[in-house]
């Protein structure tokens, strides 16, 4: 009886949220509204929360409200998504501020420049607040709440709103992830019933794979603020740095059975690079959220579950840029009305909480304005102070053989407003030599000191053993980029020219360009140590060219000089091609220049040393015909990383096969199949094994490795691990979460030793390859010494946190195993070589598996 009364009470509390969907349910009642400003329903054709707003209608409303209130709102287009949807930004402030907006922006930026900030008076300066919504497309209450916030800020009329707009410049981003929002809104709306269904098992609440969380390529954009791989992130980041906001809000959703979360998060999981003052201001702002949520009777929690560790998240990225990032997590209705542990949860209720906390943020920003502005100035001044006492004075980096990867590293650094300089003199370190032709230096004594540290540093010490996301992201290791720290004795002012040697973001593309080879009637050799070499290789294959790859090093005379060529060099025999030499030269030149891939003209196949060009040590290559298994059970982000790599970077098409389609399709048309992390219960295992036995190359990563071994498709064996607890000891129940969580591998970096003579290692010039591990797949080395081309040694951890038990399991385990199955090959990669698309160092291993997997000698790939 009591339970029935409780549920009835909950229903009565939430009942207005189910029926009252007009603006009066959401908006403050003690405010007058300008009738000239269109209400959301007048543009989107439904009440807010009645349906899930589609992105096109969301943008239409933002255009309408900006057009109706030009004195308060200026609308900008930051850029466009992969699917061509606009990323819009509304700049909202008072008419007086709008009239001098550029002056305000320029003055505000001076706070981030210690050379100018002392002269800036913050007494009458507006604070800048970025309000951002729904970076996960299937967490839509934020984007739907943006309709209300935009209307309120445009239409509200009162002394309080005038004071707010006088003191705050609002950068209003209604949808961080337009493509994901569109995908999810379509799903939720097409399954809505006239009589709302609240059963969580209903189709409305259970999206089909991959769901609306991700962008077009199935990436989590809330992990991309730091690497900024994707165009959505790059577009947004440009505007972020144009303004350098003081506060950024990141409106999310969480489990339907939760309530509402706002920061601060777990205190022990704050990144040590984040200053203590940041957390103090977060707590001060939190009191405004609490008061506003209390006023509408909404429950909430803080200091649990969520952390401030990885700087690639929207709520943490500002913390290292002189601002305060605020994460909001609303319990998700997922559809329109869902039964939860807390009663019926309606979509309008979730929207109202997001709207209210947007208002609480703005009020807190107004009240605490001078403290936040002063903190921004102090943050950058303190950066130079801390850089002066840091034993590391600079980082030097650069690949001598891969200008494409150099450029990608430069792009990433420049996007983060980091000053990078060309080396003026050779730098010799313990493990490498960096020269002026391909070397770069990043001094720490600059305003972005902390961003530089988080990009380059390795981390081994942690206060906690539980993490919401990854524990390490050392970018040079991820890029496979040679780099080194320079201390005071190694660093001097002559290493670079501060005025003329600085890399200009506008001209960096012009400074790194490819060159066309001289015309040859005999042969061309294509270097394979460049990141874009696989793209060039496939383009030549697509044009019908016949190619071979060198499996042994050799030396030829080129233009009167001896020149050495490594394994992996691609041979293009002019006379073996169907097209004439002039057309061939034009084609090869175009490919070489666009891809920055060195191509060398050869007049004779006679080798000074090593193999002649006519040797059988040059293996013929087949054009890959690729399919990847996708669908329910497959890790969508892993699959998206492969799709993005092939489609965006290598210009290689790949078929995406759902298990049901795989089971009935003619798969003989493919010579390469890819299975990433996940589960595959519905795959026809016999069909897959027969395909491999007939000569196919099966590439497996992460959990797919375990699945294939368990189902007899490979003979890979696995190491056993300890649970980390002693069953004979009494352990308190409250410690279970901590102990169990400590045995998970959230994500750390490990160095794998590579056999550089193996086809899977072609193009690498470093024996130690950094790979990212976020799973518990620990392969035993093969008994065949040639079948484990990449393996972890006795001390492989390079950066990040891992438990002692897992560290022991990784030691002396296999990173990659190649198995012969009939006439085919199974390439098992224990980890994710393409992690989040910034793991450039592992991408070559993956591309080698695609191009060279079928040339691996059968005897060297037998695992028993």
Q: How many CB atoms lie within 10 A of CB 386?
A: 16
Instruction: Please enumerate in sequence order all residues whose Cβ is within 8 A of that of 814, keeping only pairs 6 or more positions apart, or say none.
Output: 716, 779, 780, 781, 782, 788, 790, 791, 792, 830
Averaged pLDDT, 509-528:
90
Distance of CA 478 to the CA centre of its chain: 12
pLDDT at residue 642, rounded to an integer: 98
Mean pLDDT of the chain: 94
Q: Are 311 and 325 in contact (CB under 8 A)?
A: no
Residue 859 has pLDDT above 90, yes or no: no
Residue 738 has pLDDT above 90, yes or no: no
Percentage of the chain lying above the pLDDT 90 cut: 89
pLDDT at residue 737, rounded to an integer: 52
Q: What is the DSSP string of 531-554?
A: TTHHHHHHHHHHTT---EEESS-E
Closest by CA to 207, choosing from 107, 335, 378, is 335
Closest by CA to 174, choosing from 127, 227, 130, is 130
Distance of CA 589 to the CA centre of its chain: 33
pLDDT at residue 471, rounded to an integer: 87
pLDDT at residue 255, rounded to an integer: 97
Per-residue pLDDT tens digits for 157-210: 999 999 999 999 999 999 999 999 999 999 999 999 999 999 999 999 999 999
Per-residue pLDDT tens digits for 816-839: 999 999 999 999 999 999 999 999
Residue 735 has pLDDT above 50, yes or no: yes
pLDDT at residue 513, rounded to an integer: 76
Residue 9 has pLDDT above 50, yes or no: no
| Burial group, residue 656, by CB count within 10 angstroms (0-12, 13-18, 19+) | middle
pLDDT at residue 725, rounded to an integer: 53
Q: How far apart are the first and last CA of the chain?
A: 66
- pTM greater than the 0.75 cutoff: yes
CA distance 413 to 416: 5
pLDDT at residue 192, rounded to an integer: 97
CA distance 613 to 599: 15
Q: Is the peptide bond before 264 cis (omega within 30 degrees of 0)?
A: yes
Per-residue pLDDT tens digits for 211-237: 999 999 999 999 999 999 999 999 999
pLDDT at residue 3, rounded to an integer: 39
Q: How many CB atoms lie within 10 A of CB 490?
A: 16
Closest by CA to 621, choosing from 522, 536, 687, 712, is 536
CA distance 656 to 653: 10
pLDDT at residue 722, rounded to an integer: 72
Q: Are 691 and 673 in contact (CB under 8 A)?
A: yes
Instruction: Please enumerate in sequence order all residues whose Cβ is within 8 A of that of 382, keeping only pairs 6 or more positions apart, or say none.
Output: 275
Closest by CA to 594, choosing from 648, 543, 539, 675, is 539
Confidence of residue 723 (pLDDT cuts 50, 70, 90): low
pLDDT at residue 461, rounded to an integer: 78
Half-sphere exposure of 500 (CA within 13 A, CB side): 4
Residue 698 phi, psi dihedral angles, 5° rounding: -105, 120
CA distance 687 to 96: 70
Region of poorest pLDDT, from 354-368, 431-445, 449-463, 596-610: 449-463
pLDDT at residue 509, rounded to an integer: 75
Per-residue pLDDT tens digits for 51-83: 999 999 999 999 999 999 999 999 999 999 999
Q: What is the DSSP string of 337-372?
A: EEEETTEEEEHHHHHHHHHHHHHHHHHHHHHTHHHH
pLDDT at residue 770, rounded to an integer: 98
pLDDT at residue 855, rounded to an integer: 97
Residue 324 phi, psi dihedral angles, 5° rounding: -120, 120
pLDDT at residue 523, rounded to an integer: 98
Per-residue pLDDT tens digits for 785-816: 999 999 999 999 999 989 999 999 999 999 99
Radius of gyration of the chain (CA): 29
Q: How many CB atoms lie within 10 A of CB 514?
A: 21
Structure letter (DSSP) for residue 760? G
Per-residue pLDDT tens digits for 14-42: 444 454 479 999 999 889 999 999 999 99
Residues 135, 136, 140, 146, Cα dihedral to 10°: 0
pLDDT at residue 743, rounded to an integer: 64
Per-residue pLDDT tens digits for 457-479: 998 877 665 676 788 999 999 99
Residue 4 has pLDDT above 50, yes or no: no
Query: Going by DSSP bridges, is the β-strand pair 824-829/697-701 parallel, antiparallel, or unpaired?
Result: parallel
pLDDT at residue 437, rounded to an integer: 95
Q: Are 743 and 803 in contact (CB under 8 A)?
A: yes
Residue 598 phi, psi dihedral angles, 5° rounding: -65, 130
Averaged pLDDT, 246-255:
98
pLDDT at residue 720, rounded to an integer: 85
CA distance 156 to 645: 47
């Amino acid at each position: 009886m009591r339970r029935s009364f409780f549920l009835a009470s909950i229903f009565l509390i939430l009942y207005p949220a189910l029926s009252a969907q007009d603006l009066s349910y959401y908006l403050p009642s003690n405010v007058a509204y300008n009738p000239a400003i269109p209400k959301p329903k007048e543009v989107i054709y439904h009440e807010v929360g009645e349906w899930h707003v589609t992105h096109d209608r969301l943008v239409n409303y933002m255009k309408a409200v900006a057009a109706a209130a030009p004195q308060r709102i200026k609308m900008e287009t930051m850029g466009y998504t992969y699917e061509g949807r606009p990323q819009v930004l509304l700049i909202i402030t008072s008419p007086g501020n709008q009239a001098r907006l550029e002056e305000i922006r320029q003055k505000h930026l001076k706070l981030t420049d210690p050379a100018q900030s002392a002269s800036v008076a913050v007494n009458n300066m507006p604070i800048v607040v970025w309000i951002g919504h729904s970076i996960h497309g299937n967490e839509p209450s934020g984007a739907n709440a943006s309709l209300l916030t935009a209307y309120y800020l445009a239409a509200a009329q009162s002394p309080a709103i005038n004071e707010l707009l006088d003191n705050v410049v609002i950068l209003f981003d209604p949808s961080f992830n337009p493509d994901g929002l569109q995908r999810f809104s379509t799903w939720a709306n097409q399954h809505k019933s006239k009589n709302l269904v609240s059963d969580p098992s209903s189709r409305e609440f259970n999206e089909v794979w991959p769901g609306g969380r991700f962008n077009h390529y199935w990436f989590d954009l809330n992990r991309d603020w730091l690497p900024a791989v994707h165009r959505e992130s790059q577009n947004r980041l440009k505007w972020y740095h144009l303004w350098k906001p003081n506060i950024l809000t990141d409106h999310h959703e969480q489990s339907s059975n939760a309530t509402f979360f706002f920061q601060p998060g777990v205190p022990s999981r704050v990144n040590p690079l984040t200053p203590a003052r940041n957390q103090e201001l977060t707590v001060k702002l939190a009191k405004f959220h609490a008061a506003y949520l209390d006023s509408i009777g909404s429950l909430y929690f803080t200091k649990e579950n969520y952390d401030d560790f990885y700087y690639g998240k929207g709520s943490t990225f500002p913390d290292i840029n002189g601002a305060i990032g605020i994460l909001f997590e609303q319990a998700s209705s997922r559809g329109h009305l869902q039964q939860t542990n807390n009663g019926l949860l309606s979509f309008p209720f979730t929207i109202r909480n997001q709207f209210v906390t947007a208002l609480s943020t703005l009020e807190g920003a107004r009240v605490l304005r001078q403290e936040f502005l002063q903190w921004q100035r102090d943050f950058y001044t303190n950066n130079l102070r801390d850089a002066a006492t840091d034993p590391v004075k600079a980082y030097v980096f650069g690949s001598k053989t891969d200008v494409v990867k150099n450029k990608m590293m430069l792009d990433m650094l420049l996007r983060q407003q980091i000053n990078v300089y060309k080396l003026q003199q050779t730098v010799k370190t313990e493990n490498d030599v960096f020269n002026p032709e391909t070397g770069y230096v990043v001094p720490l004594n600059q305003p972005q000191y902390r961003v530089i540290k988080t990009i380059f540093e390795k981390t081994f010490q942690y206060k906690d053993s539980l993490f919401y996301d990854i524990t390490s992201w050392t970018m040079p290791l991820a890029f496979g980029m040679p780099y080194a720290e320079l201390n005071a004795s190694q660093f001097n002012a002559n290493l670079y020219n501060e005025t003329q040697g600085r890399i200009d973001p506008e001209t960096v593309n012009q400074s790194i360009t490819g060159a066309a080879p001289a015309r040859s009637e005999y042969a061309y050799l294509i270097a394979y140590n460049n990141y874009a070499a696989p793209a060039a290789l496939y383009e030549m294959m697509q044009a019908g060219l016949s190619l071979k790859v060198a499996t042994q090093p050799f030396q030829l005379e080129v233009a009167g000089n001896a020149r050495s060529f490594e394994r992996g060099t691609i041979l293009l025999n002019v006379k073996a091609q169907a097209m004439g030499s002039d057309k061939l030269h034009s084609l090869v030149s175009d490919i070489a220049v666009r891809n920055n891939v060195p191509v060398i003209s050869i007049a004779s196949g006679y080798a000074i040393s090593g193999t002649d060009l006519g040797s059988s040590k040059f293996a013929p290559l087949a054009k890959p015909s690729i399919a990847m298994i996708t669908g329910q059970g497959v890790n969508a982000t892993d699959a998206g990383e492969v799709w993005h790599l092939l489609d965006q970077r290598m210009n290689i098409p790949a078929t995406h096969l759902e298990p049901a389609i795989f089971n009935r399709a003619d798969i003989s048309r493919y010579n390469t199949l890819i299975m990433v992390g996940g589960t595959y219960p519905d795959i026809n295992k016999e069909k897959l094994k027969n395909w491999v036995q007939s000569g196919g190359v099966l590439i497996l990563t992460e959990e797919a490795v375990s699945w294939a071994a368990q189902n007899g498709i490979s003979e890979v064996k696995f190491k056993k691990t300890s649970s980390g607890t002693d069953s004979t000891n009494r352990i308190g129940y409250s410690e279970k979460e901590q102990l169990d969580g400590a045995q998970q591998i959230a994500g750390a970096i490990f160095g794998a030793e590579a056999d550089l003579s193996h086809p899977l290692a072609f193009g690498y010039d470093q024996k130690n390859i950094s790979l990212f591990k976020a799973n518990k797949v620990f392969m035993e080395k093969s008994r065949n010494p040639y079948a484990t081309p990449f393996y972890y040694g006795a001390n492989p951890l390079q950066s990040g946190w891992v438990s002692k038990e897992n560290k022991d399991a990784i030691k002396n385990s296999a990173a990659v195993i190649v198995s012969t199955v009939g006439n085919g090959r199974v390439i098992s990669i224990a980890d994710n070589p393409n992690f989040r698309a910034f793991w450039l160092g592992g991408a070559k291993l993956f591309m080698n598996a695609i191009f060279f997997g079928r040339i691996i000698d059968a005897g060297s790939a037998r695992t028993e």
